[in-house]
Amino acid sequence: MSGYDFQNLRVLICDDSRQIRSLLKTFLNGFGIKNIEEAVDGDKAFHGMQQFDPDLVITDWNMPPTSGLDFIERVRMGADSPNPYVPIIMLTGYTELHRVKQARDAGVSAFLAKPLSAQSLYKRLVAVVDDNRPFIRNGKYFGPDRRTERGSDFMGGERRKRLN
């Protein structure tokens, strides 16, 4: 696990489980990341973003009273958002396809399923750092372009007509 220098990265962890926050912090420290803030729900995470200005957010889904999904939507679409472009990794045990799509449609940069390992977290961290997708605003969506695969001949919105 080398090749990247993450020591200057500022990470906000949002999870209602103290054990998960501790595990994430241990893994991130192992990757050289020392500047880490924690929050226990989406409201506290949003306030933390305003104070801490993270380079990356890792959030859980289910955290009453404000879920990770609501938090992501506020970060991406809220008029008071301090950084709608911040990369966000959704870390959750909810891995059903409809939930992955729901997280994607809320604007997550990456999805990471629990149970968590250092290797899986590192892979998502690298994927987010290497992600060069543009951000798209389309109706009720703002976030990374949801199309992850494009052929070299992609010419825009009429691509489906040429493929059929």
**pLDDT tens for residues 6-50?**
999 999 999 999 999 999 999 999 999 999 999 999 999 999 999
pLDDT over threshold 70, residue 164: no
Q: Is 76 left (phi over 0), alpha (psi -120 to 50) or beta?
A: alpha
What band does 162 get if pLDDT is binned at 50, 70 and 90?
very low
Which of the four CATH numbers 3.40.50.970, 3.40.50.300, 3.40.50.20, 3.40.50.2300 does domain 13-131 have? 3.40.50.2300
Rounded to whole angstroms, the maximal C-alpha distance in the chain is 51
pLDDT at 126: 93
| pLDDT, tens only, 96-118 | 999 988 998 898 999 999 999 99
pTM comes to 0.85
DSSP assignments along 71-121, one per residue: HHHHHHH-TT-S-TT--EEEEES---HHHHHHHHHHT-SEEEESSP-HHHH
Question: What's the token pair of residue 77?
Answer: 């679409």
What percent of the chain stands above pLDDT 70?
88
Q: How many CB atoms lie within 10 A of CB 115?
A: 8
